[in-house]
Every structure is written in C-alpha cells, then in structure tokens.
Amino acid sequence: MNAYIFPGQGAQFTGMGQDLYDTSSLAKDLFEKANNILGFSITDIMFNGSAEDLKETKVTQPAIFLHSVILAKTLGENFKPDMVAGHSLGELSALVAAGALTFEDGLKLVSQRALAMQKACEKEPSTMAAVLGLDDDIVEKICATTEGVVVAANYNCPGQLVISGEVKAINNACEALKEEGARRALVLPVGGAFHSPLMEPAREELAAAIKNTTFNKPSCPIYQNVIASAVTDENEIKANLMSQLTAPVRWTQSIQQMIADGATHFTEVGPGNVLQGLVRKINREVETASAKIANNS
C-alpha cells in the first residue's frame, strides 16, 4: 500500500518551488492564486529570498505547505494514496492533498496558524530541544520532574524526541537528560515552544478558524498527529486538528500504525527528505522515495 507523507517546518530552502513554477502551468496558476490570497508575493520570497527571510514563521509555513500541495496536485493521476500523514504543519498539506480541504481554505488556515503561533511565541521566551539516544519514557519522566513548563513535543523516531517549553525549564531538562545518558540534548533555533501548553492562545485562535471552515471526507484515511491512527470522519479530523498545536506530534507512532495497517511504500511530498530518514529509522523494511514533478501538467 502507498502512503504519502508531508513535511513540516524546517524543510524550507531558497529557491523552493521554482522548478514547479517553471515546468507546470497548473503549478504556476496555484502559486499566483496563493500570492493573491496571502496579499504578498510569497513566490518572490520562496524563489529569491534569503534563508533568513524564509525562516519567518509567517513565510515558512505557507511556503512549505504550497510546495507540498502544489507538487501533489501536479502528480495528477500518479497521486494515488492509500493513506496520508503530515508532520505538524504537514498535516494541513496532507488534508488538502487528500481532498478534505480546498486549496484556498487550507492556505488560509496555514496562514492563520503561522500568525497565531508567531503571536504566542512573542508572549514569553520559549524554545525546543532535540534529545538523542534516550528512551521516550526516560525523557517523559525528566520533563515531568523538571520545574516549569517542559513537555515531549515531537516523537520523531526511536531515540529522537524533541521537547518544548519555557527557556529555563528546557535548559534545566537538557542538563538532566545529559546526566541520564542522552547522546545529545540540543536547544534548537526555533521561535517558540510548539506543541506545548504555551501554544494555548494560538490553539484557541486557530480552533475558531477551523470551526468556520468546511471539511470534506478525505479520499483516503489520514493518520493524525494527535492520535496516531487512521481518521476519515470530517468532524473527528476537525477536532484533532484543533488539538494539534498544544499536543505532541506522535510521528513514530503514526508511521508504526500505518505500517501495521499495510503501508509498504512511503513517498515524501514537499521540500527535503527528512521524513524519509525518520521512516527508515522507524522501520528498515519499508521503501521510501521523494515525489517527482510530473511534466506537462
């Protein structure tokens, strides 16, 4: 069975999407439509902006979403997923690719999500850290016993977990994790504590927008971050999406469940190949690939 997976923040690079724009009239139309919806030329920033320009949350999230969704749309008949999943932001890309959301509504939600997260980040100093080489339960235990807000945020693959929270609590947890034997506990260059209780103001803002958006039944099951299992019901999809910003990304568990449900081939749709690497660390038996541009679309 074919699974299609969609990346989240961090996969951006200068020049992303330019090849799509140049080779596909469908892609060009969608990029131009995106510029109109967003009210600024995101294509200029994607194709010509510096790494610094692309790092801004309000740019990064729509840029990655557009690259993923437009690439999926140019695949045409070749895009036949039996199941989909997306890492954090990528979940919205997956929902559009699977027909649960229109392109326009998906982009508007991504833009609102980015601005709401940006606002929440400015409220108090917060960050995230990557923890390598420890079992999940040890990381969870140290988070639970560290003073302040610090939680497990991204279960990326066995032995790689990202924690999220207040700056001081993250620094203290990193020290404790190193003492516990972590190979690395490294603070990440991110703007805030994504997938933690500190995102509650953003979650509330986005939940209101999600509530007012029409969702359709997807063409195949989507494995959502919050519950790591297959969902096809529109109302359930909405509810899980509303919880996503303050809940952990259960990527390891999602991929394991997709494999248990029959996935043998994972295609990453969007910039980069980070998710393929994570899938291979979760299970060496499955095949992975990057989606390739279909010409003449």
58: pLDDT strictly greater than 60? yes
Asked whether residue 42 is domain-assigned, the answer is yes
The CATH number given to whatever domain includes residue 178 is: 3.30.70.250
Separation CA 18–CA 44 (nearest Å): 10
Assess if residue 213 is contained within a domain. Answer: yes
Residue 49: band (very low, low, confident or very high) from pLDDT cuts 50, 70, 90 = very high
Q: 295 falls in which pLDDT band (50, 70, 90)?
A: low
Please list the active-site residues.
88, 195
Mean pLDDT across the stretch 30-36?
Answer: 97
**Are 23 and 84 found together in one domain?**
yes
Which residue, among 245, 257, 270, has the nearest Cα to 96 in the 3D structure?
A: 270
| Per-residue pLDDT at 57 | 80
State whether 116 and 24 are in the same domain: yes
In a domain, residue 266? The reply is yes
Residue 297 maps to a domain: no
Q: What is the CATH number of the domain that holds 17?
A: 3.40.366.10
Q: Identify whether residues 80 and 139 lie together within a single domain.
A: no
Is the per-residue pLDDT at 137 higher than 50?
Answer: yes
Quick one: average pLDDT of 270-285?
Answer: 95
User: Domain check: are 223 and 82 in the same one?
Assistant: yes
Range of the domain at 61: 2-122+197-290
Say if residue 192's pLDDT is above 60.
Answer: yes
pLDDT computed for residue 297 by the predictor: 45
At residue 296, φ and ψ (nearest 5 deg) are 60, 30
Backbone torsion region of residue 28, taken as left when φ is above 0, otherwise alpha when ψ lies between -120 and 50, otherwise beta? alpha
Residue 294, pLDDT score: 66
Domain stops at, among 161, 187, 213: 187
Q: Do 205 and 93 share a structural domain?
A: yes
Q: How many domains does the chain have?
A: 2
User: Averaged over 153-182, what is the pLDDT?
Assistant: 96
Based on the domain organization, do 98 and 128 belong to the same domain?
no
Position 122 confidence tier, pLDDT thresholds 50, 70, 90: confident
Clarify whether residues 209 and 108 are in a common domain: yes
Q: For residue 11, what pLDDT is reported? A: 80
